[in-house]
Amino acid sequence: MSTTVTEGLLIAGERGEAAEGRSFEVLNPATGTHLATVAEAGVEDVNRAVAAAVTAYQQWGALSPVTRGRTMHRFANLVEEHAEQLALLECRNVGMPISDARGQLSMIIDVIRYYAGAVDKFFGNTVPVEREGVAMTFREPIGVVGLITPWNFPLNIANWKIAPALAAGNTVVLKPASLTPLSVLRYAELAAEAGLPAGALNVVPGPGGTVGGALVAHPDVGKIGFTGSTEVGAGIARAAAATIKRVTLELGGKSACVVFEDADIEKVGALAPFAVFENCGQDCCARSRLIVQRSVKDELVERYAATTAAIRVGMPELPETQVGPMISAGQRDTVEGYIATGLAEGARIVTGGDRPGGDLESGFFLRPAVLEDVTNQMTVAREEIFGPVVSVIPFDTEEQAIAIANDTPYGLSGSLWTRDGARQLRVARAMRTGVLGVNTNSSVFVQMPFGGYKQSGVGKELGMHALEHNTELKSVFISTE
C-alpha cells in the first residue's frame, strides 16, 4: 500500500515505520470505509521488539514489586484520564457500541489496579524439610512474554494479559489482531508515559503467520499468552514446544445456556439474549446453544425472540445502540453461511439473520438470529459461529440437559437457569466448563479465574491465577548444618 503511515509500530518506546516499509489498511466496520493505515511489522521488527524487551527487563524485572505496583497505579490513572479516547477508538475500530466500549474501559482500569495492588501480595513460602536449614520459594518473573490477541475485545483481552505480565516484572511484546490494532497502540504509549521503561511494552501489528510465528519461535521469549481460535492455538502450542515456552491459551467456545422449567422464564427471555448477541455475537463466551426444557420451550422461545427482535442494531457511536456491525464483510459472510447450513440441515429461523439495510447498508451489519428445531449434532450446534446466532435445543430430563451441554469439544463458559438450589449446585458441578453463571449472564469478574476446559484453553486469566502464569517458582535451600 502506498498510503501515508498514520499509526506506527511501538518498539522501545518509539512509534515508527516497519523495517520493510510495509503498511495495511484498517476499516471502520460500521461504514466499510478507511479508518487508519498501520505499519505492518515483519520478522525483523519482531526481533527488534524482543531485543528492546530483553533490555527493558534488566531494569523493570529488577525493581521491587512495591515499586512496580506504584508505576502500574500511575498507568491505571493515565488510562482512566484517556478512557473516553480509548473507548472511541475501540468503538470505531471494532464497531462495538460506545456504551459497551465504555464498560470495557472501566474493566480495563480495574484490572490494572487489581494487579498494581496484588503484586506485592503474591510471594513464596518457607517450607519445612527434613534437613537442617531454611527451604524457601520465590516468585520470579519469566522474562519476555509474547502476547497474541484477537479482534473481538481487542483492548480488554490484551489488558487481561499485559497488566499481570508487567506487574509480575516481565516485559511484553504484543501482536494484536490486524483488524483492530488502534486502541492498544495508544494504550501502550500511556504505559511509557506512566514511567514504564522504554521497551517494557512493545506493539507489533502484522500478519499472524509471520509476526505471531516469529514471536512464538523466538528463543528469548519465555512465555506465549494467546487468545484466539482453537485451531491457531493448537499450532502455537506445537510451535512453542520447540523452545519449551510456557503457554497459556484462551480459545474458542460453544457455550450452553441451560434453562429448566422452574426458572423465571420471563427474566430468562428478557436477559439471556444479551449473553449471545452482545458484541454482535463475537464473544468467546457467547451462549450460542439455548438448551431448554421442552415443557417451557415455546414460551421461552417466544419471549427470547421478542427481546432479540427488539435489540437496537445501529451505528456504534449512538448511545442507544445495543448491537453494532460485525467486524468484517468476510466474518458476516461466514455467519450467513452457517445460517444457510443450519436451514439446509433442518433448522428454522424464528427471527433475524438478515441485513438491516437503509442507513446501515454499507456497514457489516447482521440482525441477531434465533434458530429453532436444532439438534446438538447439526453444524450450527457443533461449530463456533462467532456471530449473532443462537440455536434452540430442547431436552426432557436433567441428565439429558447435562449430556447435551457437555457434548461439545469446547468448555469455556455457560449459564444455568433454575430456582431449585440443589439442582443449581448439581448441574453447575456436572457441566464441563471453566466459567458458569447461575441465574445471570454474568460470570466474568476481575477477581475470579477465567479460562476454558477441554479445547477451550489452558491456564487461567484474571484473579491471582494470572500472576501464577506470569511467574516462575524458584526453590532455594540454605543449609545450616
Could you give the residue numbers annotated as active site?
161, 250, 284, 461
The nearer residue to ligand NAD, 93 or 293, going by C-beta atoms, is: 93
What is the grid cell recorded at 71? 508505576
Q: Which of 157, 162, 247, 427 binds ligand NAD (CB under 6 A)?
A: 157
In the bound state with ligand NAD, the residue whose beta carbon lies nearer, of 194 and 251, is 251
3-state secondary structure 15-44: EECCCCCCEEEEEECCCCEEEEEEECCCHH
**Cα-based distances in Å from 293 to 246, 392, 406:** 42, 10, 16
Q: Minimum Å distance from CB 236 to ligand NAD?
A: 6
Binding string, residues 169-208; x marks residues near ligand NAD by CB under 6 A? ------x-xx-----------------------------x
Q: Does 284 bind ligand NAD (CB under 6 A)?
A: yes
Asked if 281 is part of the footprint of ligand NAD (rule: CB under 6 A), the reply reads no
Cβ neighbours of 410 (radius 10 Å): 25
* For ligand NAD, the closer CB: 5 or 148: 148
Q: Smallest distance from the beta carbon of 228 to ligand NAD, in angstroms?
A: 3
Stretch that binds ligand NAD, among 43-51, 190-198, 250-258, 295-303 (CB under 6 A): 250-258
What does residue 387 show for φ and ψ, rounded to 5 degrees? -165, 180
Smallest gap from residue 443 Cβ to ligand NAD (A):
12
State how beta strands 389-395 and 414-417 pair: unpaired
40 binds ligand NAD per the rule CB under 6 A:
no
DSSP characters for 379-410?
Answer: HHHHS---SSEEEEEEESSHHHHHHHHH-SS-
CA torsion 284→288→291→292, rounded to 10°? Answer: 120
DSSP-assigned states of every residue in 160-182: HHHHHHHHTT-EEEEE--TT--H
Task: Quote the least distance from Cβ 178 to ligand NAD, whole Å.
Answer: 6
Nearer residue to ligand NAD within complex by CB, 297 or 460: 460
Ordered alpha helix ranges (H), 254-375: 265-271, 274-277, 294-309, 329-344
Task: Decide if residue 225 touches ligand NAD (CB under 6 A).
Answer: no
Query: Least CB distance from residue 27 to ligand NAD, whole Å?
Result: 15
Q: Please, which residue, 170 or 288, has the CB nearer to ligand NAD?
A: 288
Q: Determine the Cα–Cα distance for residues 15 and 143; give it in Å rounded to an integer.
A: 23
Question: Which 320-359 residues touch ligand NAD, going by CB under 6 A?
Answer: none
Q: What's the burial of 132, exposed, middle or buried (CB within 10 Å: 0-12/13-18/19+)? A: exposed
Rounded to whole angstroms, what are the CA distances from 450 to 148, 186, 283, 345? 17, 26, 14, 34
Q: Tell me the closest approach of the beta carbon of residue 279 to ligand NAD, in angstroms.
A: 10
Please, which residue, 194 or 215, has the CB nearer to ligand NAD?
215
In this structure, the dihedral spanned by the alpha carbons of residues 225, 227, 229 and 233, taken in order and rounded to 10 degrees, is: 0
Compare residues 236 and 438 and give the one whose CB is closer to ligand NAD. Answer: 236
**Is residue 228 near ligand NAD by the rule CB under 6 A?**
yes
The sign of the torsion formed by the CA atoms of 38, 39, 45, 48 equals negative
What is the C-alpha separation between 458 and 180, in angstroms, rounded? Answer: 24
Rounded to the nearest whole angstrom, what is the least distance from the CB of residue 466 to ligand NAD in the complex?
12
- 387 contacts ligand NAD (rule: CB under 6 A): no
Report residue 110 as a C-alpha cell: 480495574
Site for ligand NAD in 406-425 (CB under 6 A): 412
149 belongs to the binding site for ligand NAD (CB under 6 A): yes
User: Is residue 137 a contact residue for ligand NAD (CB under 6 A)?
Assistant: no
The site for ligand NAD (CB under 6 A) is made up of 148-152, 157, 175, 177-178, 208-209, 212-213, 216, 227-229, 232, 235-236, 250-253, 284, 384, 386, 412, 452, 456-457
